[in-house]
């Protein structure tokens, strides 16, 4: 794709809006209509707390209308921290002598996956550094995806593997698609070209255009669920958000569909990186909440992912403002999952990519969501039924998805409660399921009752 026009983005940053204009835009969001970049810029320019409250209320409304109370759970799996690039903010940078390097074998990847299956995880985000040749990357990533899908714990399997890995050739992407990946995720890091060149000083990643083209190549290879995002803290966050929205407009025009998910990672301290401890463009938590809410309103049907980079209290707030997927008990080191071992605290490990703030276990995360009335979901039915890309968006927009997804989410929650949850969590979860049953129509209730009874009889993994 063509580079994002920085001058145009800057012109959006000058925009201010009256209260009347903001009210008008928020009225439009109630009809779940996509916003223009200019409208999003107006929302981002808001500072008054009264108007911010209106934005938050609108974001909660859109979140609840499109996604119901579901929050999808996933866990990252780091497979290698060898990297040829030197991103100044990353613990895996090739010039970082402090990092202890590790590339997991396929057997080790399978074993790590089995540890995660044993805890109840069903969706994995596979993450890796970049190796020296495109073929080497592809062979390793494809083998790793297969190893993850081959893992088995008492009949439990991973349902969906998303990947966050280096750009590949068209044929490489095709092989990844054939291996059965869900989303291909790649962060542009910064859409500000000068900053990009300053922070990516070596390796294939030093070319910003190559990074942008990765999305096009993924689409051309038939991967229609892609995930994008900026790494916040490298440049003015407002520039990044508006440039990303322009990127989305481009994708919609070129491929008929925007990204499946957006991530908004904020930079965290990383071993050996002075830059990551003092990013050039830090910003306040209140601004972070605002940008998540504005994204929810700008692209109502695009999932928003919130990783454990953010602290527990912040994530608990953000699930109300638009976040639709959260990770739990993440380890950002290859081989970081240990079976029943306390070991060195994760944030002290030198092989980690960065520090993790939300350290809750999956059970604790599920509990926290249940207490807020959310349905933690382990579902991957859309991907398994080929409801991806444009088809997914058609379902999502017709409202059909909500009904199906609530049933699927409740079924996966019940399975989690039966098979993995601590006893005190079960009661909380079962009463939430009872509460949501009352919200289903007759046909929906019939399906849920049938699947629920089947779970009690030992049947697993049913979905619509």
* 165 contributes a contact to ligand SAM by CB under 6 A: yes
Strand partners, 126: 77, 163
**With binding defined as CB under 6 A, does residue 370 bind ligand SAM?**
no
Query: Any contact of residue 205 with ligand SF4 (CB under 6 A)?
Result: yes
Here's the x/- map for ligand SAM, 227-246, by CB under 6 A: it reads as ----x---------------
The least distance separating ligand SF4 from the CB of residue 354, rounded to whole angstroms, comes to: 9
Which stretch, 88-96, 244-252, 281-289, 308-316, contacts ligand SF4 (CB under 6 A)?
88-96
| 127 near ligand SAM (CB under 6 A) | yes
Please state, in angstroms and rounded to a whole number, the distance separating the CA atoms of residues 441 and 419: 28
Considering only residues 43 to 102 of the shown chain, the ones binding ligand SAM according to CB under 6 A are: 89-90
CA pair distance 169, 174, nearest whole angstrom:
9
Q: Which stretch binds ligand SF4 (CB under 6 A): 65-73, 81-89, 111-119, 208-216?
A: 81-89
Residue 212 found at the interface with ligand SAM (CB under 6 A): no
Cβ proximity of 63 and 302 under 8 Å: no
Residue 92 within binding range of ligand SF4, rule CB under 6 A? yes
Does position 189 interact with ligand SAM (CB under 6 A)? The reply is yes
**Strand 303-306 relative to strand 261-263: parallel, antiparallel, unpaired?**
parallel
Smallest gap from Cβ 219 to ligand SAM, in A, equals 17
90 binds ligand SF4 (CB under 6 A): yes
Return d(Cα 186, Cα 353) in angstroms, integer: 16
Query: Would you say 378 and 159 are in contact if contact means Cβ atoms under 8 Å apart?
Result: yes
Stretch of residues binding ligand SF4 (CB under 6 A), selected from 87-95, 168-176, 220-228, 284-292 = 87-95
Stretch that binds ligand SAM, among 18-26, 265-273, 292-300, 415-423 (CB under 6 A): 265-273
Tokens of 408: 């699927």
Neighbours of 287 (CB within 10 A): 15
Task: State yes or no: residue 270 binds ligand SAM (CB under 6 A).
Answer: yes
Nearer to ligand SAM, 129 or 336 (CB): 129
Give the total of residues touching ligand SAM (CB under 6 A): 20
What is the pattern of x (binds ligand SF4, CB under 6 A) and - over residues 125-144? ----xx--------------
- Residues that bind ligand SF4 in the complex, under the rule CB under 6 A: 83, 85, 87, 90, 92-93, 129-130, 205
Binding residues for ligand SAM, per CB under 6 A? 89-90, 127, 129-130, 164-166, 186-187, 189, 231, 265, 267-268, 270, 276, 309, 353-354
């Amino acid at each position: 794709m063509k580079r994002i026009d920085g001058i145009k983005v800057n012109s959006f940053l000058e925009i201010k809006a009256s209260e009347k204009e903001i009210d008008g835009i928020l009225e439009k969001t109630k009809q779940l209509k996509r916003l223009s970049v200019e409208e999003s810029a107006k929302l981002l320019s808001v500072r008054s707390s009264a108007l911010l409250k209106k934005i938050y209320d609108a974001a909660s409304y859109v979140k609840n209308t499109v996604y119901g109370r579901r929050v999808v759970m996933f866990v990252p799996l780091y497979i290698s921290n060898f990297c040829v690039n030197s991103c100044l903010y990353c613990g895996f940078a090739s010039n970082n002598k402090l990092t202890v390097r590790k590339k997991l074998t396929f057997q080790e990847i399978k074993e790590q996956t089995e540890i995660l299956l044993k805890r109840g995880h069903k969706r994995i985000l596979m993450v890796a550094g970049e190796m020296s040749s495109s073929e080497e990357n592809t062979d390793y990533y494809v083998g790793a995806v297969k190893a993850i899908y081959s893992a088995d714990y008492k009949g439990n399997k991973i349902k969906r593997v998303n990947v966050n890995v280096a750009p590949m050739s068209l044929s490489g992407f095709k092989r990844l698609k054939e291996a059965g990946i869900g989303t291909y995720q790649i962060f542009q890091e910064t859409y500000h070209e000068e900053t990009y060149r300053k922070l990516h000083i070596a390796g294939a990643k030093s070319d910003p255009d190559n990074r942008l083209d990765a999305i096009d190549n993924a689409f051309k290879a038939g991967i229609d669920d892609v995930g994008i995002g900026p790494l916040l803290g490298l440049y003015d966050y407002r520039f990044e958000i508006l440039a990303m929205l322009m990127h989305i407009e481009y994708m919609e025009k070129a491929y008929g569909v925007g990204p499946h998910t957006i991530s908004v990672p904020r930079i965290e301290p990383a071993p050996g990186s002075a830059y990551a401890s003092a990013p050039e463009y830090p910003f306040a938590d209140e601004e972070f909440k605002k940008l998540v809410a504005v994204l929810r309103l700008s692209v109502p049907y695009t999932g928003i992912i919130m990783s454990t980079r953010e602290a527990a209290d912040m994530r608990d707030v953000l699930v109300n403002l638009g976040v639709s997927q959260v990770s739990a008990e993440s380890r950002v080191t290859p081989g970081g999952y240990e079976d029943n071992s306390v070991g060195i605290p994760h944030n002290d490990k030198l092989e980690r990519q960065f520090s993790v703030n939300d350290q809750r276990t999956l059970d604790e995360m599920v509990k926290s969501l249940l207490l807020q009335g959310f349905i933690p979901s382990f579902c991957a039915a859309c991907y398994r039924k080929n409801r991806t890309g444009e088809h997914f968006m058609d379902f999502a927009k017709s409202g059909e998805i909500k009904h199906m997804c609530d049933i699927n989410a409740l079924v996966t929650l019940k399975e989690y409660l039966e098979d993995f949850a601590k006893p005190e969590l079960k009661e909380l979860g079962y009463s939430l399921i009872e509460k949501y049953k009352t919200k289903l129509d007759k046909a929906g209730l019939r399906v849920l009752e049938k699947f629920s009874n089947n779970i009690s009889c030992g049947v697993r993994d049913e979905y619509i």
